[in-house]
Structure 1
Amino acid sequence: MPDYEPTWESLDAHEVPEWFRDAKLGIFVHWGLYSVPAWAPPDADIGGEDASPYAEWYPYYMYEDGSPTREYHRETYGEDLEYLDFADDFTAENWDPDRWADFFADVGAGYVVLTAEHHDGYPLWDSHYARHTAATSGPERDLVGDLCEAVRARDLRFAASYHANFNYYQPGFEGRFGHPDFAAGHPFDDDAGPGPEYVDFMNAKHRELIRKYRPDLLWFDVPKADSDHLEAKELVADYYNAADEWGKEVAVNDRASTDSIGGPLAEDESDDAIHGDFETPEYYTYDEIRDDPWEATRGIGHSFGYNQIEGEDDHLAPVELVHSFIDVVSKNGNLLLNVGPRADGAIPEIQRERLAALGDWLSVNGPAIFGTRPWAVSEDSDGDVQVRYTWRDGDLFAVALDWPGDSLELSVPSHVSLADAPDAALLTADGDEEVSATLRDDALVVSLPERPDHDHAYAVRLSDVANPRQE
C-alpha cells in the first residue's frame, strides 16, 4: 500500500476514485446556528467590506459596525444577543435524517456533504475538543453521526466538510475573533488568521472528525493557500494513509493549495498550483472540458445557508438547474448542489421543488449522466438547439437543451470517423425509443418522434461511437 508523505509530490500521486467520477451529483448541506437568523443583505458582494450575500457569514458581519447585518441584528435582536445565543433556537425539532437521506437518494445524488463545522466554530458533532456543540446545546444530538448513518444506509457516500481553518467566530470567546491566538481581520486578508496554538486546536478537531466518521471525501475550506502554516499537507497524508488501512477509496478537494475558490485561477497561478484530487470552483463553471475531474459548488439560491429573504427569483429555475448540471457533466465535472435547511431541520419547499425537478429529469435521462466521461467536444451548436455531449461504454449521448422538433442535427462526423450512421434511441420515461439517424454531408441527422413527456432537456443515445479521449 502507498505510504503518503506530507509533500505535494507524494500527495499528487493519489488517484481520483472512479466512484467520484461516476457520481456526478453531490448534495451539500449548510446548516448551523446561522440558520436561526437566516439573513443576508440583498445585492451584496462576497468579500465586500461590509456585506456578504451568504447567510452563513452572519456571525462575521453581525459584529461589523456599519454593516447591513449589524444593523439588522440590532433592530431584530437588540445589542446584547451574542451569536452563541442562537443555539437556543437551533432545535432541529423537525429533522429526520432518514427522510433527508431518502430524498437525496431519490434525486439521484451519489454523495452527501454536511457542514460539520463552518467558520462559526460550532461543531455539529459531539467533539471532545469543544464545549459548545450541537451535542451539548441546541438540538443536543450528533447531527453529523446521525446523517452519516442514514446516508450510508442508502449506499451513498458521506463527508463532513470542515471550514474551521479560518474561523471568524469561536464560541466561548467574546465577540468576533475572540480566540487569543487568532489575528483579527477579514479571512481573505494576508495578515489575518490562526497562530500555532489555534492550528493545533483546529487540526485536533478535524482529525477527530476523520477518526469518528471515516469520511469518503476530505472537503475542507481554506480561503487562502497557506498549507504549510495550517499543516494541511500533514493532515491530507494522514487521511490518505488511514483510508488505505480502512480499505476505502477517498478523495480530497483542492482548497489547501489554491486561492481560487470563487472562479478561475488567479493571474499568478497556473494549473501546476492546484493540488488535491479535484477542483472546487464556487458559483463558477468552466467553458471547456477540463482534463482533470472538478466539482462545481453552488447553492440553489444566492446563499449556502438558509436565507429567509430569498424569494422565487433568487433561486435557479428548474430548467436553469438542469441545463447547468448537464453543462458541468459534459466538461468533466460534478455538481455539488447545496441546500440550506431551516433551524428546525426542514428543507425549504422552494429548494425541495428544485431538487425534485432535477430528480424527475434524471429518472428519465440518468443514463446520459451517471458514469459518463467527456467526449471529443462538450458542445454542439450546428443545429437549431444547443447540445451537450457525454459518453459511456461506447455510447455517445447528445443532450439537446431544448426540444429540436422533427430532427436533431449533430456535427458528430466532424469529430470521429463514421462508416455508417449509428443506431440511435431517444431516452423517454417508457425506456429507449428507437429512432433513425442519417449521415448527411458533414452532419448526423436524427429523426425524432413526438416530444416525450418530460421537460428541460432531451437525450439521444448513439451506439458504438468512438471517444478520442479514451484511446
Structure 2
Amino acid sequence: MTNESASPEEWQQLSRPTPEWFQNSPFGIFIHWGAYSVPAWAEPIGALGTIDDDRKWFTHNPYAEWYYNTIRIDGSPAQQYHKETYGGGDYDDFLDQWKAEQFDPADWVELFKFAGADYVVPTTKHHDGIALWDAPGTGERNTVRRGPRKDLIGEIASAVEAKGLKLGLYYSGGLDWHVRPFPPHITSESVHDTARPKDAGYAEYAYNHVVDLVDKYRPHVLWNDIEWPDAGKHFGGHGLGTLFQHFYSTNPEGVVNDRWGATHKDYATSEYEHSSQSESESQWENCRGIGFSFGYNQVEGPEQSLTGKQLARHLTDVVSRGGHFLLNVGPRADGTIPEIQRQALTDLGRWMANAKQYLVGGRPLEDAPAESQSDPWIRWVDRGTEVVAFVDSQGEGAEAALELGPDRFALAKASLAGPGGSVDFDGQVLKVTLTADRLGPVIVRIPRG
C-alpha cells in the first residue's frame, strides 16, 4: 500500500455491523484527568453549542482541561489568574505537582457501576500532550516517569475489567500542544484545520501511541478527539487505515468514534449542544460533563451542575432518540471525585437500579407523540412487545395524560415499573400521577395491543 490518502471506497471497506454489546450499552462514563486538574480553573460561562462567538468561547473557555491554551491568550482571565496564583510559571510544573495520592480506581469503578454505566473511557493523552501511561516517544513527560509515577491507564483498565465493564480509551490525535506547538487557539477553524498538526512525523507519533494502547489494554472503544493528521490518512505504514485494521483484529467487537476526520467511524458524536446533527445517525453518542467542564473545575458549584434527577432525564432523552450517553467525571488532582459529582452519580444510580432494564435494548418509538419540552416531560422507548413511557414534571403532584392510539396499545394493561407515582386508565386516557419522592422520571409499561 502507498502512503497516499485513502479513497472513500477504501474507508468503506472497514464498515461492519455494530457489535451487540454497544447497541445494548446506553450509558458510559468519560474521565478527564490530567495535569490541568492541579490548577482546576476555568470560567463556567456556559455549555458548548450555546455560545456562538469563537473569541468569547476560547478567551473565557469553560473547559478546565484547556487551561494550557487559555492562559496563553493575552488578556484572558485565565492568564491573569495563572499569573496571580502561579507567577505565570511553566505549565509542566503541574505535572510534577500532580500526585494522585488518593487515587483508588476500584472505588471509582464501583461508583460508575452503581450509577449504571456499561463502559468507561479515561483520557490517555489530552491536547497538552501529557500521557497517562508510559507512551512511546514521550520520554519523561508522562505519569509513569513524573508526577503520579503510575501507569494510570493500566490501573483504571484493571479496575474496569474487574467490575465487568467495557474499557474505552480517549486519545487526542488532533492536537498536541507540546509535540507540535502552535499559537493559542482563538477560533474553531484553528482547532480543526489551520493550527492542528497534519505532518507525517506527528501521524507516526500518534499511530505508535494508539497501537501501544490497543496492545497493552485491549479496549473496546477508541475515542479519538478533534481530527487525525492528514499525512496519516492511508492504509500504508503508520497509516490510520492500518491502525483500524489492527484494532479490529485485536478486538473484533471494538468500535471507533467519528473524530478521525473524513475517514471511518462506527458511531457519531455530539458534545453538550454542539454537533447535534450527529444525533440523526443510526448510532450516536452524546458526551458532556456534570457541569460545563470536563476536567475538574474548582469554580463550578451546584448552580452549574446537573443533579442525579437531571442526569436521569438527559440519559432517557438520549436513549429515546436512539443514542448513547457518555457522562464525564473530572477527578481532583489527588484522585478523589468531587462530592457534587459523586452525589449526582449516586442519585442517578438509585434510579438506574430499576430503570436501566427498560433502557437497555430500547429503541426510538416510531410515530411517537410529539415530545414535550416542558411539563409534563415525556419520552418514549420501544421494547418490541411493549413501549415504555418515561414521565416527569417539575411539580410534585403533577398529572400527565399519555395519548396513544388505543388500537395500537393495551392501555388498560398499563402498569407502573417502580416507585414515584400511579397510573389510571378511564377508558379513554391513560393518566399518570407523580409523587414527590421519585428519583427520576416515572416508568410506565404499556403492552402492545
Band the TM-score falls in, shorter-chain normalisation? 0.7 to 0.9
2:124 is the counterpart of 1:77: no
Q: 2:337 aligns with which of 325, 331, 347?
A: 347
The number of equivalent residue pairs is 425
Aligned twin of 2:233:
231
Map 1:234-383 onto structure 2 (within 5 A): 237-257=241-261, 275-284=264-273, 286=276, 290-377=280-367, 380=370
Equivalent-residue separation in structure 1 for 2:434 and 2:226 (angstroms): 50
Higher relative contact order (CA 8 A, sep 6+): 2
Q: 1:133 aligns with which of 133, 139, 142?
A: 142
Map 1:145-224 onto structure 2 (within 5 A): 145-170=154-179, 179=180, 182-184=181-183, 186=185, 187-188=190-191, 190-194=193-197, 195-223=199-227
Equivalent-residue separation in structure 1 for 2:415 and 2:409 (angstroms): 19
Calculate percent identity across the aligned residue pairs.
35
Question: Contact between 2:417 and 2:445, CA under 8 Å: does it hold in 1?
Answer: yes
Aligned twin of 1:458:
442
Aligned twin of 2:129:
121
Structure 1 position 298, deviation (Å): 0.5
Equivalent-residue separation in structure 2 for 1:232 and 1:305 (angstroms): 33
Question: Contact between 2:414 and 2:445, CA under 8 Å: does it hold in 1?
Answer: yes
**Structure 1 69/412 Cα, relative in aligned 2: closer, same or farther at 3 Å?**
same
Equivalent-residue separation in structure 1 for 2:11 and 2:413 (angstroms): 44
Equivalent-residue separation in structure 2 for 1:393 and 1:203 (angstroms): 42
Question: Contact between 2:174 and 2:226, CA under 8 Å: does it hold in 1?
Answer: yes
Aligned twin of 2:403:
411
Aligned twin of 1:91:
99
Over residues 222-249 of structure 1, what are the superposed CA-to-partner deviations in whole Å (9 max), with x where a residue is unaligned? 25xx664342777553354334433531
- Report the 3-state secondary structure (helix = DSSP H, G, I; strand = E; otherwise coil) of the residue aligned with 1:364: helix
**Structure 1 419/356 Cα, relative in aligned 2: closer, same or farther at 3 Å?**
closer
Question: Contact between 1:11 and 1:276, CA under 8 Å: does it hold in 2?
Answer: no
Segments of 5+ residues of structure 2 without an aligned counterpart are none
Aligned twin of 1:36:
38
Equivalent-residue separation in structure 2 for 1:287 and 1:122 (angstroms): 32
Aligned twin of 1:105:
113
Aligned twin of 2:378:
387
Over residues 240-275 of structure 1, what are the superposed CA-to-partner deviations in whole Å (9 max), with x where a residue is unaligned? 4334433531111111236xxxxxxxxxxxxxxx95
Structure 1 position 291, deviation (Å): 4.7
Equivalent-residue separation in structure 1 for 2:433 and 2:73 (angstroms): 60
Give the residue type in structure 2 aligned to 1:459. I
- Report the 3-state secondary structure (helix = DSSP H, G, I; strand = E; otherwise coil) of the residue aligned with 1:147: helix
Equivalent-residue separation in structure 1 for 2:295 and 2:289 (angstroms): 9
2:24 is the counterpart of 1:9: no
Aligned twin of 1:397:
388
Structure 1 position 294, deviation (Å): 0.8
**Structure 1 291/35 Cα, relative in aligned 2: closer, same or farther at 3 Å?**
closer
Equivalent-residue separation in structure 1 for 2:26 and 2:360 (angstroms): 6
**Structure 1 66/43 Cα, relative in aligned 2: closer, same or farther at 3 Å?**
same
Equivalent-residue separation in structure 1 for 2:380 and 2:264 (angstroms): 28
Structure 1 position 450, deviation (Å): 7.6
Over residues 204-229 of structure 1, what are the superposed CA-to-partner deviations in whole Å (9 max), with x where a residue is unaligned? 21221122112111100025xx6643
Over residues 334-365 of structure 1, what are the superposed CA-to-partner deviations in whole Å (9 max), with x where a residue is unaligned? 11100110001101000111111111111122
Q: TM-score, normalising length from structure 1?
A: 0.81
- Report the 3-state secondary structure (helix = DSSP H, G, I; strand = E; otherwise coil) of the residue aligned with 1:398: strand
**Structure 1 424/120 Cα, relative in aligned 2: closer, same or farther at 3 Å?**
same
Give the residue type in structure 1 aligned to 2:34. G
Give the residue type in structure 1 aligned to 2:33. W
**Structure 1 404/323 Cα, relative in aligned 2: closer, same or farther at 3 Å?**
same
2:17 is the counterpart of 1:18: no
Equivalent-residue separation in structure 2 for 1:409 and 1:75 (angstroms): 57
Q: TM-score, normalising length from structure 2?
A: 0.85
Structure 1 position 317, deviation (Å): 3.1
Structure 1 position 66, deviation (Å): 2.1
